[in-house]
Amino acid sequence: MKKLSIALLLVVSLTLAACGGEAATTAPSTDNGAATSAPSTGGGSSTLTIDAAAGGTLAFAATAAETTAGEVTVTFNNPGALAHNLVIVKPGEEQAAVDASMASAPDFLPPADKSLGHSKTIAAGASDTFTVSLQPGTYSFICTYPAHYAAGMKGTLTVK
Ligand SMILES: [Cu+2]
């Protein structure tokens, strides 16, 4: 009788082990599913900071800027005394962006197809951050607020 109960115990414990084994193999498969569905957004991302000129000058603090290609997080600071914006365009498309901005008072920002990306129009002392996807090349950064581009509020952005 003692041998029989040991045998039963063995069967019971083997069955439990088998159940445990099944549970163990099921769990990792769901974990794997979660891991592969998670987005893996690699790639380069860089930052760029451009400031408007201080005071009432219709200009940027620097007329040249540089960043690396990819998703660029651009911070535009306005330490000046007037409202400004920062608009990134391809060379030769500056005036078209300025002209198209005239229709969107009071912000005077270009429509989506007239720029590669832009900040909001911000008051004196404010800052704004936006992202833009840029390939290597040369671009222009301008302010499309009325009369500012014509007065010289522009610069060259080199993307490497
Ligand atoms: Cu401006």
The CATH code of the domain that includes 60 is 2.60.40.420
CA angle in degrees (0–180, nearest 5) for 77-144-52: 25
Residue 92 Cα to ligand 1 middle (Å): 19
Q: Are residues 66 and 111 in the same domain?
A: yes
Q: Are residues 35 and 98 in the same domain?
A: no
* pLDDT tens across the length of the chain (160 residues): 444 443 434 344 443 444 444 444 333 444 443 333 333 344 568 999 999 999 999 999 999 999 999 999 999 999 999 999 999 999 999 999 999 999 999 999 999 999 999 999 999 999 999 999 999 999 999 999 999 999 999 999 999 9
Residue 7 Cα to ligand 1 middle (Å): 89
Q: Are residues 59 and 134 in the same domain?
A: yes
Non-local CB neighbours of 151 within 8 Å, separated by 6+ positions = 58, 59
CA dist., res. 143 & res. 52, Å (int): 9
Q: Are residues 35 and 50 in the same domain?
A: no
Residue 64 Cα to ligand 1 middle (Å): 16
Residue 82 Cα to ligand 1 middle (Å): 7
Q: Are residues 54 and 115 in the same domain?
A: yes
Residue 150 Cα to ligand 1 middle (Å): 10
Helix, strand, coil tally for the chain in percent (to 5): 30, 30, 40
Q: Are residues 121 and 140 in the same domain?
A: yes
Non-local CB neighbours of 155 within 8 Å, separated by 6+ positions = 50, 60, 62, 63, 64, 65, 140, 141, 142
Residue 124 Cα to ligand 1 middle (Å): 10
Please give the DSSP secondary-structure letter assigned to residue 52: B
Range(s) of the domain holding residue 26: 1-40
CA dist., res. 62 & res. 141, Å (int): 11
Residue 66 Cα to ligand 1 middle (Å): 20
Residue 63 Cα to ligand 1 middle (Å): 13
CA dist., res. 109 & res. 128, Å (int): 14
Q: Are residues 24 and 55 in the same domain?
A: no
